[in-house]
Copies of this chain bind each other. A is one copy, B any other.
Amino acid sequence: MGLKYPKEFIFGFSESGFQFEMGLPGSEDPNTDWWVWVHDPENIASTLVSGDFPENGPGYWHLYRQDHDIAERLGMDGARIGIEWSRIFSKPTFDVKVDVARDERGNIVYIDVAEKALEELDRIANKDAVNHYREILSDWKNRGKKLIINLYHWTLPLWLHDPIKVRKLGIDRAPAGWVDERTVIEFVKYVAYIAWKLGDLPDLWCTMNEPNVVYSIGYINIKIGYPPGYLSFEAASKAMKHLVEAHARAYEVLKRFTNKPVGIIYVTTYHEPLKESDRDVAEAAMYQAVFDFLDSITIGRSMSIGERKDLEKHLDWLGINYYSRLVVERYGNAWRVLPGYGFACIPGGTSLAGRPCNDAGWETYPEGLYIMLKRCWERYRLPIIVTENGTADAIDRLRPRYLATHLYQVWKALSEGVDIRGYLHWALVDNYEWSSGFRMRFGLVHVDFETKKRYLRPSALLFREIASSKEIPDEFMHMTQPQILI
């Protein structure tokens, strides 16, 4: 009897430019903050970054047809594909004039990108890149597949953000990325240009992926090794505000040029209280990590941003990324994350709750996905797509059950009325995991980075069984419940 998903439910994959595109000669894009960041010898020496280089990656820029073939064979009918801003505009767009409206407090409340500005942008833009993206995206669309175009996935053009210069000179003397309000304006120009050039292709737009990771890791949890590694609450706060505004202003420009729903992708980590009396601090922690940002662009009111009418109702759908939980307990006046649970476990070990942990030390905790789907649905009543879910598991010892248990939680939420439209696995193929490099392997498909050859992991076979039937077949129902090892 199995567990059926709606007929129009999408099974697919998610992809980002920096992590997947490079790999074969001609695919290098050195014009980003992340490129200089991961190549910086001081970063490598300090082990902030792995020493692996993205130009040795899976090579989707050239091999996209092959990857689309595999996706098709695995029963996938949708994908979220990223565009790299830096490939489109490797040079500054500062000189292109746009109208920026501000409120009395100086916040940017609207950006008008006129036809003339688009034409100017077109002169600056890298046409080859635009055309190549059209080829990639069309190849997927022409197979009759659904397409989500994502416009920002962590990499900024180097002319907007130079993390090495930030370190050397200070954040006030170097291109400061999202800390600098200009990034909002330039982002909107870029988004308008893409809408103008490629707006016929997507079924859905996505403005950005996991903006909170950018400001929390980039400016606070700097040991993880994301640019600019500049420890500052104030910088984090500014970056957050600008990302919120960038989303809202991009939303408007996308709605003006196209009639496709515009969403955002957010990592919705469940913050679980260690014990009942920690519930308030766990909620506070989760508010800060998840709802603070999302409230801003839906309700138009949040703790960090305050009241902003100009941000309200700027979301048509919500992309949820989910990997694991955090277990939180009260600590002094605030809270702390408990080691031994969630993202804070021993790689390849067992969590204190008896759950197996992946190669990155992330606990398998599928129940959290259900909880977050419910919480987000009840709070925002927007259509949801699971835009990332997967695990770093080179030898595929956990992934088959990871897949089945998480898809079961999606089904459970669906069956209780949550409006979920699809499930995009992270990832189709192994790729470049940011500061961890190639060691963390998230693919249903193993990649030999030397030869760029693709090999199926067993979980790919299971994915195919489920995706091609749009159900968890009865014969796999035994894999839908989490393993508890103690």
A residues with CB within 8 A of B = 41-43, 45-48, 167-170, 173, 220-223, 229-233, 340, 346, 352, 395-398, 400-401, 446, 448, 454-456, 458-459, 461-462, 465, 474-479, 483, 486
Contact = CB atoms under 8 A, between A and B. Distances in A.
Contacts of A233: 41-42, 45
Nearest to A40: B231
Contacts of A232: 42, 167-168
Given A397-B398, A459-B458, A475-B455, A486 B352 contact: yes
Nearest to A166: B170
Nearest to A454: B475
A98 to B, nearest CB: 33
B455 A476 contact: yes
A167 B172 CA distance: 12
Contacts of A170: 168-170, 173
The 8 closest A-B pairs by CB, nearest first: A461-B461, A397-B397, A455-B478, A170-B170, A400-B458, A458-B458, A456-B475, A42-B231
Contacts of A42: 220, 231-233
A478 B457 CA distance: 9
Contact of A223 (B41, B47, B169, B462): B47
A173 B173 CA distance: 12
Contact of A46 (B231, B401, B458, B475): B231
A46 B48 CA distance: 14
B48 A231 contact: yes
- Among A43, A231, A458, A483, chain B packs the most CB atoms within 10 A around the CB of A458
A223 B229 CA distance: 11
Nearest to A170: B170
A267 B170 CA distance: 33
Contacts of A454: 475
Contacts of A48: 222-223, 231
A478 B448 contact: yes
A344 B441 CA distance: 22
B231 A167 contact: yes
Contacts of A458: 400, 458-459, 461-462
A239 to B, nearest CB: 14
A45 B217 CA distance: 11
Given A46-B220, A346-B346, A448-B478, 19 more contacts: A42-B220, A42-B231, A42-B233, A45-B220, A46-B223, A47-B221, A47-B223, A167-B230, A167-B232, A168-B170, A169-B170, A170-B170, A229-B231, A340-B486, A395-B401, A455-B476, A456-B475, A456-B476, A461-B462
Nearest to A169: B170
Contacts of A47: 221, 223
Nearest to A346: B346
A340 B485 CA distance: 12
A49 to B, nearest CB: 11
Identify which of A352, A476, A477, A478 gathers the most chain B CB atoms within 10 Å of its CB: A478
Contacts of A401: 395-396
A174 to B, nearest CB: 10
Contacts of A475: 454-456
Nearest to A331: B51
B461 A222 contact: no
A158 B346 CA distance: 38
Contacts of A167: 230-232
Contact of A221 (B41, B46, B346): B46
A359 to B, nearest CB: 12
11 contacts: A41-B233, A42-B220, A46-B222, A47-B221, A48-B223, A395-B401, A395-B483, A456-B476, A458-B458, A458-B462, A461-B465
